[in-house]
Each structure stands twice: as structure tokens, then as C-alpha cells.
Amino acid sequence: MEMEPERSAIRIIAENRQGVLRDIATVVAEHEANIVMINQEVFDSGPYTGMAELYFEYDSEEGSDHQRLIEDLSHITSIRNVKAYQPFGHIFGSRVIIIGGGAQVAQVALGAVNEADRHNIRGERISVDTIPLVGERTLALAVDAVARLPRASILVLAGSIMGGEISRAVDRVREAGIPVIALKMAGTVPEHADLVVTDPIQAGVFAVMHISSKAVFDINRVRGREF
């Protein structure tokens, strides 16, 4: 049986200049590790003002020498600090994303948080992210962005009316492999979602149950139905 790669994370403080990413990627590759997620920001205040913070997660074979990798990264002249961390997947786990109007978002979140708490007590890691928004263009941009969010596992659209460009964004998110639950609402979005749910609290519960590794609910078995 093929072993799953080991996921690890490193945070680096480095000079903000050309070639830093190249140097880091070279060292990581020399250790036969594969970078699977990376985020970089420049400090605008504090002791590291003007320097870059670089966080990345990488996969490696079981038994890899992570300490040696950290030491080799530390030898890069532009790097000031290197520290290993647990990857976000081990801390915050899979993410439920809820987008829509304020009142509906709050009710979906209520169901999702309560259900996630039940699963997380038993050792799972499921987090819930919400953002109340208005306007077709604004909502469509937010829905499209879900496919680019790390660890996003399912999207719930909570509103009274959604369609047009939002529906087309829903199609793109589903094509990226992220299932979509929509509340029963006016507009064309429910026709494009994997599942339509009338009760917002139940929609949040369904979302968590689908991404749980221990629940028996599978959205693929009820795709296209309305509850």
C-alpha cells in the first residue's frame, strides 16, 4: 500500500528582494520535498519592517530529515529566521465557506458551527468561514475566489435572491471540485447548486456532515435534490 506523503510547514523571515523564492525552492527540492502551498507578505511595521514573511507547506517522504532542511534554509544569506510549525490542515482542518446575506449567513453558520463542534470534540478539524455580502458582482467575485482558498471543502450560498454572474461562478467552483449547497431562494443559483436546502440551519449541518470523515452523509448521493 502506497504511503501518503507527510505534510509539514515552515515560516521564514527573509529580505524582501529578488531571488529569495528561487533560493528557498532550490533547497527544498534538494531535500526531495514538494511545496504544495505558499503565502508571502511584507511587514509594514514592527521589528521586521520591510522584510518578507514567507509561510509554506510541503510534502515529503516519511522519515525525512526536517531539521536538516531547516538548517540548510538558515544558511541562505537573505534569510533571518526559520521555524517549523504544524500545517494549517492539522490545526484548522477543512473549511466550510458561507457567503450571502447577513441574516441567512448567520443562521447557516449557527448550524455549521454547532455540527462542527460535535465532530471536532471527537478529534476532527472542521472550521467555518463566513462573509455577508450584497450585490451580484461582489458575490460573484467572492464565489469565484472560493476555488483559490486553501482547504476550502464546501460552499454554502445563503441569500434571498441570487443569479446571473453568481450562477456562472457557482459552475466554476463546482468544476474545481468544491460542492455547493444553496438555500431555497429566488434566482437561478439553486438550479446550479449540488443541493438546495430550505432551512438555513440544516444547510450548515449538511455542509459539515459532507466534509466530515466520520459522518455518513454524502452530497453525491442526493445531488440535485431539494430538502
Instruction: Find the CATH number of the domain harbouring 186.
Output: 3.40.50.10550
What pLDDT was estimated at residue 189?
Answer: 95
Task: Kindly state the percentage of the chain with pLDDT values over 90.
Answer: 75
What pLDDT was estimated at residue 214?
Answer: 79
Find the angle CA(92)-CA(98)-CA(101) to the nearest 5 degrees: 145
Please classify residue 29 by burial: count the beta carbons closer than 10 Å to its beta carbon, then call 0-12 exposed, 13-18 middle and 19+ buried: exposed
Tell me which residue range forms the domain holding 170. 92-221
Would you call 188 helix, strand, or coil by DSSP?
coil
Q: Is residue 226 part of a domain?
A: no
Q: Which of residues 59, 89, 119 is at a domain's end?
A: 89
Residue labelled with grid coordinates 455540527? 115
Do residues 208 and 119 make contact, with C-beta atoms less than 8 angstroms apart? yes
* pTM of the complete model beyond 0.85: no
Instruction: Please report, for the domain that includes residue 71, its CATH number.
Output: 3.30.70.260
Q: With 80 as the cut, is the pLDDT of residue 143 above it?
A: yes
What pLDDT was estimated at residue 4?
Answer: 67
Tens digit of pLDDT for each residue in 148-201? 998 899 999 999 999 999 999 999 999 999 999 999 999 999 999 999 999 999
C-alpha cell at 138: 461582489
Instruction: Work out how many domains the chain is built from and give that number.
Output: 2
Q: With 80 as the cut, is the pLDDT of residue 65 above it?
A: yes
Question: 17 and 30 share a domain?
Answer: yes
Question: 28 and 117 share a domain?
Answer: no
